[in-house]
Structure 1
Amino acid sequence: MRLNPVLESLGTYPFVRLDDAKAAAVARGIELIDFGIGEPREETPEFIRRALVEAIEPVSTYPKAVGLPVLREAVAAWIGRRYGVTVDPDTQVLPTLGSKEVIFSMSEVVDGAVGVTSPGYPVAARSALFAGREVVEFPLDAASGFLPDLDAVGADVWARLGVLWLNYPNNPTGAVAPPAFLERAAALAREHDFLLACDEAYSELWFRGDAPASGLQVGDLTNVVVLNTLSKRSSMPGYRSGFVAGDARLIAALKQYRPNVGVAPQEPIQLAAVAAWNDEAHVVEVRDRYRRKRDLLWPALQDAGFRDAGGPATFFLWLETPGGEDAEACAVRLLEHGIVCAPGSFFGPGGAGHVRFALAPTPEACAAAAHRLKG
């Protein structure tokens, strides 16, 4: 049997390595408080769970790749309320299995090199390799507010590019992108005919300041799409429910592609998603809870020598390690105290000297972690 050589070249997915280290620590009797994986562990609101149960039918049929009209309409209505933007639910909105599957498949739908930020979410770059695409890294650093320098990119790079992935609010840094930056990126996408794909999974979580801007607000959505998900906003990671919206030509291409790979969301999940997109009260509660957890943990991290190096959004803390300590060594040291974090190196070379804390544990666990840090 001959396996795809890309599998061997990639090695083990970074967070699988983290799982192995956690298992070894547990085997040594260490009780863990896990800030490593960015997986919400909040209770899914009861009204969403009830909507799911009520949607289950005695006869189950295959879901359509285009999604239910009622869900596309709910997403379009949410976009209108949140951003003041009108999108056509029939031609500009497509329900998805969260965001990851769309990020991975985009390299097969759009031709050309794949632009990714570093540090950044690793799936876009990995999908490019599986599709045989060139990966072009756009470095991020604190001096630029963790925004790539678009003016430093040569015309030859823009000419090769098929898709540029931006992720704001940003994982892992928590940075947000101002509207002018998004408008500039969209203008470049139209000028050089590449796709600007904005992963906005953390759009509803921020600690301070105004609500983050969206790629949907750039005006002309030609060559622009935005992805979003209910995983963080509504504490629904296990539901795998999100959407992609924007350029009608790209949405049509995805509708053509997706029946080939069988990624249509299950209809009961779609109907539960309708309930989630139609309600904002629970989102305010989720946002307040993450702020509370940050307030419990951050003073102890600061006293332990960490420095806040990130932005005001997401549910991540992006921190410089004490005294420039190696990121993986720092994570191993904290693991011995039962505190799990993700080394910044997991997110690319730009993450060196940093760690990421995901505020997934309960407030009580955050308080306990703060006590361990002080000890």
Structure 2
Amino acid sequence: MHVSPVLAAQTVYPFVRVEEAKRRKAAEGVRIFDFGMGDPREPTDPRIKAALTAALDEAIGYPAAVGLPELREAIAVWARRRFDVELDPDRELIPTYGSKEAIFLFAQVVLDAAAGKDLVLLPEPGYPVYERGALFAGAELGTLALRADHAFLPDLDAVDDETWSRTALLWVCYPNNPTGAVAPLEFYERLSEIALEHDVLVCSDEAYTELWFDEPPASALQVANRRNIVVFNTLSKRSSMTGYRCGFVAANDDVIEALRKFRPNVGTAPQVFVQRAAIAAWGDEEHVERNRALYGRKRALFIDLFARKGIALAGSRATIYLWVETPRDETSVSFAERLLEQGVVVAPGSYFGPAGEGYVRFALVPTEDECAEAVAVLEDVL
């Protein structure tokens, strides 16, 4: 059988490797504390579930790819409340199946190699889907290292004009997965200026904007001129709705029109009952505040542990992640393997690209009680 050469060239998806290692250890009878994948296990708010069940009989056919008008309006109202920005729900928004599939497919929509814009710039360490989606679209890749001595922000001044001239898309993610770093609004303003000068689309993955612990992070939507800004957001982490699969893309009317043309070829909007649940989720902040407080308590357990053990954290200002430095005599993989021997699953930093070496990522998704138990286990390991 023949398969796509792009697919054939790819290694196993990093978190499949994490899951496989976890299952092997669990089969040995070891109690597992899973901090590997960023899949929240706290229950979805009852009011969101009630909105879903109330809509089960509303429609059984294919949902329109543009989504329900009420959902687009709910997202626009949330963006106004949260970021003080105005989005036209009919021209600047489109719902998606979470954000992962939209991120993966986006380069296929806008890449025009014949026009000399064949380059996609990616953050490293970073979410693997940016790279894989670009490769399937036939793009050339470039990486921008995120380093502690630069606050895990890419050094935009290190990119020369020739590279910018070839760049079609630049991916950023703040608050950042995997480092937990936060970007100031000034960073987005600088990005916007470069994007306008060189005709680059800035793709901002903002899945974690609502999971913060000191002050609310900025959004790329808040720049003075967002003509070249494309924002991807999702309810997965904000509202503990990973299995529901509902997010959105916000962009200028040309990008949204292209997505409206493209998306019926690959699927539809989320099911109508999921969209009704999403309307309830975007309209409520109380459950988000509870989630933030819960992650804050879990985070404090580990920050205290690492401080006692003399283990350094980098970034880690927001998101559900802690970016933890490995001991000097261990790689990210060997450190993760040592923790796995005691049932503690983490993601090696190298799984997010070579610039992630020297770190492991803890996703604070187990319950609060499980986190406390894991801390007790780690007391004897670290």
The counterpart of 2:238, out of the listed 230, 233, 245, is 233
For 2:80, what is the secondary structure of its paired residue?
helix
1:216 counterpart residue number: 221
Please say if residues 197 and 227 of structure 1, whose CA atoms lie closer than 8 Å, have aligned partners that are also in contact: yes
The secondary structure found in structure 1 opposite 2:230 is strand
Rounded to whole Å, the distance in 2 between the matches of 1:236 and 1:126 is: 24
**1:304 touches 1:373 (CA, 8 Å); kept in 2?**
no
**1:305·1:321 contact (CA, 8 Å) conserved in 2?**
no
Residue 51 of structure 2 is aligned to residue 51 of structure 1: yes
Q: Check 1:58–1:276 CA distance in 2 against 1; reply closer, same or farther (3 A cut).
A: closer
TM-aligned CA deviation for residue 109 of structure 1:
0.8
Find the counterpart in structure 1 of residue 119 from structure 2. 113
How large is the RMSD of aligned CA atoms in angstroms? Answer: 1.1
User: How far apart are the structure 1 equivalents of 2:226 and 2:359?
Assistant: 35
CA contact (8 A) 2:107 2:137 kept: yes
SS in 2 for 1:237: coil
Q: Give the Cα–Cα distance (whole angstroms) in 2 for the partners of residues 94 and 59 of structure 1.
A: 20
Structure 2 counterpart of 1:3, one-letter code: V
* Aligned equivalent of 2:157: 151
TM-score, reference length from structure 1 = 0.98
Q: Equivalent residue for 2:253?
A: 248
Whether contact under 8 Å (2:322, 2:362) holds in the other structure is: yes
Which residue of 258, 262, 265 maps to 2:263?
258
Partner-residue secondary structure (3-state), 1:231? coil
Show the counterpart of 2:364. 359
How much does 1:300 deviate?
Answer: 2.0
Tell me which amino acid in the other structure corresponds to 2:52.
L
Counterpart of 2:324 in structure 1 is 319
**Segment of structure 1 superposing worse, 295-304 or 320-329:** 295-304
> What's the CA shift for 1:218?
0.3
Partner AA of 1:52 in structure 2: L
CA contact (8 A) 2:174 2:206 kept: yes
Secondary structure of the residue that 1:136 maps to in structure 2? Answer: strand
Contact 2:34 2:366 in 1 (8 A): yes
Q: Does 1:275 align with 2:275?
A: no
Q: Is the 8 A contact 2:204 2:230 kept in 1?
A: yes
Contact 1:297/1:369 (8 A) holds in 2: no
Q: TM-score, normalised by structure 2?
A: 0.96
List structure 1 runs of 4+ shifted beyond 4 angstroms. none
Cα separation, 1, equivalents of 2:272 and 2:90? 17
The answer to which of 14-23 and 45-54 deviates more is 14-23
Summarize the alignment of residues 333-352 of structure 1 with structure 2, pairs less than 5 Å apart. Answer: 333-352=338-357
Q: Which residue type is aligned with residue 366 of structure 1?
A: C
State which drifts further: 232-241 or 296-305: 296-305
**Residue in structure 1 matched with residue 192 of structure 2 by the alignment:** 186
Q: Secondary structure at the match of 2:369?
A: helix
What is the match of residue 293 of structure 2?
A: 288
Is structure 2 residue 306 aligned with structure 1 residue 307? no
Which residues of structure 2 form unaligned runs of 5+? Answer: 112-117
Identity %: 53
Separation (CA, whole Å) in 1 of partners of 2:308 and 2:338: 16
Residue type matched to 2:288 in 1? V
Task: Quickly say closer, same or farther: Cα 1:305–1:10, change in 2 above 3 A.
Answer: farther
- Alignment-derived partner of residue 138 in structure 1: 144
Distance 2:377 2:25 in 1: 16
Secondary structure class of the residue paired with 1:138: strand
* Aligned amino acid, residue 110 of structure 2: V
Q: State how far apart, in whole Å, the 2-side matches of 1:263 and 1:292 are.
A: 38
Q: Deviations over 1:167-218 (max 9, x none)?
A: 000000001111111011011111111111100000000122x100000000
Deviation of residue 58 (structure 1)? 6.2
